[in-house]
Amino acid sequence: MLKKLFSRKSVAKVNVDDVEQVIIESLQNYRSEVFPQGILAVALSYQLDIKSKKILLSLVMPFPCESELYLLISTLNDSLNIRITLDIALQVAPIRKHGISNIRNIVAIASGKGGVGKSTTAVNLAYALMAEGAKVGILDADIYGPSIPTLLGLKKAKPTSADGKHLTPLNANGLHAMSIGFLVPEEDATVWRGPMASSAFSQLLNETAWPELDYLLVDMPPGTGDIQLTLAQKMPVAAAVVVTTPQDIALADAVKGIAMFAKVNVPVLGIIENMSYHRCEQCGHQSALFGQDGGKNIAEQYKTTLLGQLPLAINIRQDADQGKSCLLTNSAGELAQEYRKIARKMAAELYAHVDNKQLNSADIIIQQPV
């Protein structure tokens, strides 16, 4: 069918039925890690509006995946010599019922140990979800060592309150954020016992006037001790993501993190392996400085997904220290695209964890030319 249409010069010269069939078949037959059963298997609705020389394809999707869909449509446009305009609406369903207003899903970003780049990954993942079309917030659960203010370039910022009862989250380029670091001076040590820290976190979560969010990412404190377990139990967490490096000692602690979430019945969506390799800027050679395929191996062992492998790159560190993100400074770059790929996979995995979900084909509406 594609070969049949490749020589056509415009929609006006192509049989309408052929155009419909090619587009529908493309959406049905397309396969990727995000769409293992095709796009129409997960699309909530689908509408094709064909006019004399234009085609409008409208999709309602249950998770953010804009860049992958736009790439597919761009390929179709080039291959068929036609013009398809894509309109994507996002309709993310809550996976777990809870009483926190405006938040559909809470996802914990955790690590078994410190120093693996968990907070930096959480921030870049939040911006990546936004780039894919989602409304996102981030909550800093590390009461003792909050780093979100620094990573967002908001070290001196203070939250306000519109009603005297709820804090207004700070806005960092569209990302809504709350952290104890916004309330406590950076130079002051937070010397609290576990119950006090847990109580402070609960207040931040429940007494913040969050706007409408598809996802709230929670940057968990490193480790698997009492406070981590308490936070995981107190939060209505839909799922978790574990960040590790390929190093054996980090992998051992990552396994403990997976076990901790299993104890509180929180599904682990997958593993993000950070600092997987270093690429030489001169020759492009990749060196596995901290080991190789450790994240992949534990993902297979514990029947979860390897969401992605991120490099050890100096610009990630530089952006983090300056309160920036590659998703904002170089959105078309390789790093930004890797974070977006991980974000799409994470969101798709979360969607796949809906209890008793039935994968039905989308309703198809085709409006003929007038």
**Do 11 and 125 belong together in one domain?**
no
Please, are residues 118 and 257 in contact by the beta-carbon 8 Å criterion?
no
Could you tell me the pTM of the whole model?
Answer: 0.88
- Map 216-240 to HEC letters: EEEECCCCCCHHHHHHHHHCCCCEE
Kind of pairing between the strands at 213-219 and 278-279: unpaired
Query: Mean pLDDT, to the nearest integer, of 151-180?
Result: 93
How high is the pLDDT of residue 253?
Answer: 82
**Do 211 and 151 belong together in one domain?**
yes
DSSP string, 146-214: --HHHHTT-TT---B-SSSSSBBPEEETTEEEEEGGGTS-TTS-----HHHHHHHHHHHHHSB----EE
Is residue 15 one of the residues assigned to a domain? Answer: yes
Please, are residues 309 and 273 in contact by the beta-carbon 8 Å criterion?
yes
C-alpha–C-alpha distance, residues 256 and 268, integer Å: 12
**Do 88 and 109 belong together in one domain?**
no
Looking at the chain, how many residues does it have? 370
Is residue 272 one of the residues assigned to a domain? Answer: yes
Per the structure, the complete domain to which residue 213 belongs is given by 103-352
**Do 237 and 323 belong together in one domain?**
yes
Query: Mean pLDDT, to the nearest integer, of 75-101?
Result: 89
Is residue 51 one of the residues assigned to a domain? Answer: yes
Q: Say whether pLDDT at 10 is over 50.
A: no
Residue 125 belongs to a domain with what CATH number? 3.40.50.300
How high is the pLDDT of residue 142?
Answer: 83
Tokens of 83: 């013009």
Q: Say whether pLDDT at 366 is over 80.
A: no
Instruction: Report the domain count for the chain.
Output: 2
Plot region of 78 (φ>0 → left; ψ -120 to 50 → alpha; else → beta): alpha
CA-angle at 151, arms to 160 and 224, nearest 5°: 95
> Residue 78 — very low, low, confident or very high, per pLDDT cuts 50/70/90?
confident
> Residue 34 — very low, low, confident or very high, per pLDDT cuts 50/70/90?
very high
Q: Say whether pLDDT at 12 is over 50.
A: no
**Do 178 and 317 belong together in one domain?**
yes
Query: Mean pLDDT, to the nearest integer, of 78-89?
Result: 87
Is residue 18 one of the residues assigned to a domain? Answer: yes
Please, are residues 138 and 174 in contact by the beta-carbon 8 Å criterion?
no
How high is the pLDDT of residue 62?
Answer: 96
Is residue 333 one of the residues assigned to a domain? Answer: yes
316-345 confidence digits (pLDDT tens): 888 888 999 999 999 989 999 999 999 999
Residue 21 belongs to a domain with what CATH number? 3.30.70
How high is the pLDDT of residue 301?
Answer: 86
Is residue 298 one of the residues assigned to a domain? Answer: yes
**Do 344 and 363 belong together in one domain?**
no
Q: Beta-carbon neighbour count of residue 178 at 10 Å?
A: 24
C-alpha–C-alpha distance, residues 93 and 219, integer Å: 22
Residue 174 Cα distances to 14, 76, 107, 122, 134, angstroms: 43, 32, 18, 15, 11
Q: Say whether pLDDT at 113 is over 80.
A: no
How high is the pLDDT of residue 5?
Answer: 38
**Do 363 and 284 belong together in one domain?**
no
**Do 344 and 262 belong together in one domain?**
yes
Is residue 98 one of the residues assigned to a domain? Answer: no
C-alpha–C-alpha distance, residues 297 and 301, integer Å: 6
What rounded mean pLDDT belongs to the chain? 84
Q: Say whether pLDDT at 1 is over 60.
A: no
**Do 124 and 70 belong together in one domain?**
no
The two counts, helices (H) then strands (E), for the chain are 12, 14
Find the helix or strand (DSSP H, E) in which 66 lies.
helix 66-80
Please, are residues 295 and 251 in contact by the beta-carbon 8 Å criterion?
yes
How high is the pLDDT of residue 271?
Answer: 94
**Do 13 and 133 belong together in one domain?**
no
How high is the pLDDT of residue 115?
Answer: 80
**Do 122 and 192 belong together in one domain?**
yes
168-223 confidence digits (pLDDT tens): 999 999 999 999 889 876 665 465 666 677 777 888 889 999 999 999 999 998 87
Is residue 69 one of the residues assigned to a domain? Answer: yes
247-296 confidence digits (pLDDT tens): 777 788 888 889 888 888 899 999 999 888 767 666 666 666 666 777 88
**Do 10 and 113 belong together in one domain?**
no
